[in-house]
């Protein structure tokens, strides 16, 4: 009879893209916090069942916890085989893991292997993977060449990154990974929320492992925190030591872009008021009230330009001067418009400076 193949974490990562499925046998809440790239949640114990077994272990001992746990696991594995795995073909291959690669994933992997599928099990489970992510993120940035796309708020850096990717450049879009635009107004209204710190780091790890160290990587000039997500130390240090390209845009272009991207605040000024309260310590009630009076009057162009000149531009200029050592030697590229032609032209000029 077949038995699961036990893979050290290095071997599992080397083969991670070759499996037909990656199965996370942990509870749904563990999966939600973070999981391997491409993994599917197939818990052998849900959150309530896991808590029940843990309580039994503390109150009645290991034997009773294992007896009840085994019955629950068996029923759940049967449901998985009859449900999401019902159509898996004979030559299907899967990588299975849990927290430490022990009881939960071991039980599932054994049953699946005995059926006849080719099943591999991560030695050390998610915990081993997490250690590898942390180690790699501490080392990989020094092996890559970054070019930092700098420019004041509203200068179109995120749109340019998208256009640069379309034109074949290697791009690391940290705001997309963090699901946040990186400022006090940066929450994305249609996003489900920011990923956990662990999830953000796994997404970053997965993106970096797919990039070619021999080619430059374009990345936006982020601060250490993007919303609630912290950029790993080695990456932020590598970015801050890298050459920069500064994107410039007129106030008219910036206002048009920001009003398009932050349309949800135009539609709901009270949401805007709540977010601006975070700037109370910096600017005081009187200035914030002045901004809100422009918003409530519907004078959005003046509101945007005033907020840029009084808050965003001074803050960004101070931060860039303090943190990006090569900013003074940067080349400058003008974004003439946010239509396809304007973005395409600016992206071509950025690419010409990065080769």
Cα distance between residue 225 and residue 204, in whole Å? 14
Answer for the pair 261, 183: CB distance below 8 angstroms, yes or no. no
- Reference 265, options 183, 210, 187; nearest CA is 187
Which residues make beta-bridge pairs with 219? 148, 172
Burial category of 210 from C-beta neighbours within 10 Å (exposed 0-12, middle 13-18, buried 19 and up): exposed
Burial category of 318 from C-beta neighbours within 10 Å (exposed 0-12, middle 13-18, buried 19 and up): exposed
Burial category of 53 from C-beta neighbours within 10 Å (exposed 0-12, middle 13-18, buried 19 and up): buried
So which residues are the catalytic ones? 98
Mode of pairing for the β-strands spanning 229-230 and 225-226 = antiparallel
Classify the C-alpha dihedral 335-339-341-344 as positive or negative. positive
Which residues make beta-bridge pairs with 121? 6, 96
The two three-digit tokens of residue 109, written as one number: 């992997």
- Reference 344, options 216, 218, 160, 169; nearest CA is 160
Between the CA of residue 101 and those of 127, 134, 181, 185, 200, what are the distances in Å?
A: 8, 19, 37, 42, 23
Q: How would you classify residue 330: left for phi > 0, otherwise alpha for psi between -120 and 50, otherwise beta? A: beta
* HSE value, Cβ hemisphere, 13 Å, CA-based, for 278: 11
Mode of pairing for the β-strands spanning 5-7 and 229-230 = unpaired
């Amino acid at each position: 009879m077949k038995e699961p193949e036990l893979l050290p974490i290095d071997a599992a990562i080397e083969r991670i893209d070759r499996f037909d499925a990656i199965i996370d046998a942990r509870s749904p809440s563990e999966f939600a916090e973070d999981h391997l790239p491409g993994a599917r949640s197939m818990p052998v114990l849900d959150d309530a069942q896991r808590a029940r077994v843990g309580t039994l272990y503390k109150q009645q001992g290991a034997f009773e916890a294992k007896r009840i746990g085994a019955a629950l696991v068996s029923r759940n594995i049967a449901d998985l085989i009859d449900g999401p795995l019902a159509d898996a073909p004979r030559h299907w291959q899967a990588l299975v893991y849990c927290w430490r690669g022990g009881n939960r994933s071991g039980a599932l992997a054994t049953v699946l292997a005995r059926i006849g599928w080719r099943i591999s099990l991560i030695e050390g489970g998610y915990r081993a993977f997490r250690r590898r992510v942390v180690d790699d993120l501490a080392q990989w940035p020094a092996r890559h060449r970054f070019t930092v796309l700098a420019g004041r708020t509203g200068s179109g850096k995120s749109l340019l990154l998208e256009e640069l990717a379309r034109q074949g450049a290697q791009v690391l879009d940290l705001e997309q990974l963090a699901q946040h635009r990186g400022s006090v107004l940066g929450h994305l209204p249609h996003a489900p929320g920011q990923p956990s710190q662990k999830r953000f780091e796994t997404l970053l790890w997965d993106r970096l492992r797919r990039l070619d160290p021999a080619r430059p990587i374009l990345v936006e000039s982020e601060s250490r925190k993007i919303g609630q997500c912290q950029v790993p130390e080695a990456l932020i240090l590598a970015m801050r030591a890298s050459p920069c390209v500064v994107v410039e845009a007129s106030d008219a272009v910036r206002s048009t872009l920001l009003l398009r991207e932050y349309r949800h605040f135009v539609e709901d000024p009270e949401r805007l008021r709540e977010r601006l309260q975070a700037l109370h310590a910096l600017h005081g009630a009187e200035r914030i009230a002045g901004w809100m009076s422009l918003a409530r009057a519907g004078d959005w162009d003046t509101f945007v330009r005033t907020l840029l000149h009084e808050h965003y531009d001074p803050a960004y200029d101070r931060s860039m001067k303090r943190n990006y050592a090569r900013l003074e030697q940067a080349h400058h590229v003008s974004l003439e418009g946010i239509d396809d032609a304007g973005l395409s032209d600016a992206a071509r000029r950025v690419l010409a400076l990065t080769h």
